[in-house]
Structure 1
């Protein structure tokens, strides 16, 4: 007889009774493990380890799996905003269990497997329906960057997107190093400003954006705040100036929370070049 907790740990996810039985776990062992607190029963016939993500347990209680922004985060995508409300994917033929007034249900195409996140393309579709276009776009470019979606996934996604969001699939690229870069490119596009991304400049190296011929824009993430990184950035900016470029550098808080200042700075710089 196999230990229920050990089998669940080896799977790395929750599982149905039928799957655990196939792997050698008996009904008696499951009853014992639940009584001892070694495993939990999220709903009839579905078991998990006690330290399972609360969102995943909550989704299983309702008959589905975690979806939308929370699933995107677990997939490793860059997500601008994660709502407090839990989103659950039931697939195309799922059955909601219990009260669902505390969560949002997604019924998009596919079939749910216990403990398995929705495919990345489904997660992106859910984001497109629930979130603003910037959150969706940044997550989409994050998925492209990590090769988590491919041409057939983009075709599947575009076909099912709201009409107003389809252009974002065509506009998306796979070279954005962070969601911040995705936000900057999208917002500048709305202003009618074209940028070149991930540009290599002789004597300087690679920069995030070049606008026109002489304006460099750098988007620094949350992690770029230590003294050593600050010194390297200042040196790069000085080298860029010596080469005839002007550099504008913006951090996470400026781009996400103070965009009007960023926009004004870029427009002012462009007016003088």
Structure 2
């Protein structure tokens, strides 16, 4: 689905609150601070706490509610796949008192955070662990795959996530695969697994290119989204790829990301029907030789 393979990226620092004392130590007087707030260069969060201008609204709101951005809200902000974003998720210290009112749509996670006191968000590993608890297992696996693939966490970070989770969740660790370039690819891979079929990820086929999934050596599954398949040029490229694959004995099915996300049962039945029928031409037929598949590393080199 994505045009760019996974690679480690530098994690951007998360927003932090600025205290009155820190601003004074930086040389600002109380009048300077008041002027900066009035001019919009500082955002007043609560008594004695400020944020720089351009701080995203979700972080400002969470601080004003007495907490930090957490769980799927933080991950969505970082570009990590989450299936459904059902309102702001906010971490609030378990023993916090005299909290300001907050909208009913806010999801509060009451626990002590390991994040610094000045941070407006929890640590990424903490957010991922909470996201596993907040989502169905398949969606949680897709979130973890996405964070790992994007380089938001590395293998040590993934291990830290599972150290924070109850033992009953450890089985999910064996199902992760950071080669998934999009959350829907993970969801399709898990569907295929329940159907009892082997799916290889990001396989490069000579004359075709890199495909999202190759199932049982003959069925190419591509997960198409509007982001990468909206223009005529992308449609032309895809049709040429499909024709080249068919000439080598492969069948291609293109799944819509929106269907994978909103109609998974229908997608499952579609894949089951295709796989039960089998290839129209056995892969051993035709030229009698297996296609050449590039022997690329099965995992990103940064793992």
For Structure 1 versus Structure 2, the TM-score category normalised by the shorter chain is 0.7 to 0.9
Q: Deviations over 1:210-269 (max 9, x none)?
A: 111211111112211211111111111111111001101112112112223322221111
Q: Which runs of 5+ in 1 are unaligned?
A: 1-10
What is the Cα-based RMSD across aligned positions, in Å? 2.4
Between 1:233-242 and 1:54-63, the stretch displaced more is 54-63
C-alpha distance in 2, partners of 1:263/1:129?
A: 25
Q: 1:176 aligns with which of 169, 176, 180?
A: 180
Which 10-residue stretch deviates more, 116-125 or 246-255? Answer: 116-125
Larger RCO, structure (CA 8 Å, separation 6 or more): 2
Q: How far has the Cα of 1:115 moved from its partner?
A: 4.4
Residue in 2 that maps onto 1:128? 132
Q: Deviations over 1:193-217 (max 9, x none)?
A: 2211111112212111111121111
User: What SS is found at the alignment partner of 2:151?
Assistant: coil
**Pair 194,109 (structure 1): closer, same or farther in 2 beyond 3 Å:** farther
Task: Measure the CA separation in 2 of the matches of 1:96 and 1:182.
Answer: 42
Q: SS of 1:218's equivalent?
A: strand
Q: Which of 239, 248, 252 does residue 243 from structure 1 map onto? A: 248
1:212 equivalent among 216, 220, 237: 216
Partner of 1:4: none
Aligned to 1:253: 258
- Once residues 55 and 12 of structure 1 are traced to their aligned partners in structure 2, the CA distance between those partners, rounded to angstroms, is 11
Displacement of 1:48: 2.4
Match of 1:6 in 2: none
Q: Check whether the contact 2:15–2:55 (CA below 8 A) recurs between aligned residues.
A: no
Partners of 1:198 and 1:20 lie apart in 2 by: 50
Distance 1:67 1:96, change over 3 A: farther
Flag the structure with higher helix content: 1
Counterparts in 2 of 1:71 and 1:123: CA distance versus 1, 3 Å: same
Q: How does 1:98-113 map to 2 (within 5 A)?
A: 98-99=100-101, 102=104, 103=106, 104-107=108-111, 109-113=113-117
Alpha-carbon distance change, 22 to 93 in structure 1, aligned in 2, over 3 angstroms: farther
1:262 corresponds to 2:267: yes
Q: Return the offset for 1:41.
A: 1.4
Aligned partner of 1:142 in structure 2 is: 146
- Please give the per-residue CA displacement for 1:66-118, whole angstroms capped at 9, x wherever unaligned: 1111100122211211112x221246776673246733134254134434432
User: Could you say which residue in structure 1 is the equivalent of 2:285?
Assistant: none
Determine whether 1:70 maps to 2:73.
yes
- Tell me the TM-score normalized by structure 2: 0.78
Structure 1 residues 272 and 138: alpha-carbon distance in aligned structure 2, compared to 1, 3 A threshold: same
**Equivalent of 1:47 in 40, 50, 61:** 50
Q: What corresponds to 2:91 in structure 1? A: 89
What TM-score comes out, normalization by structure 1 length?
Answer: 0.86
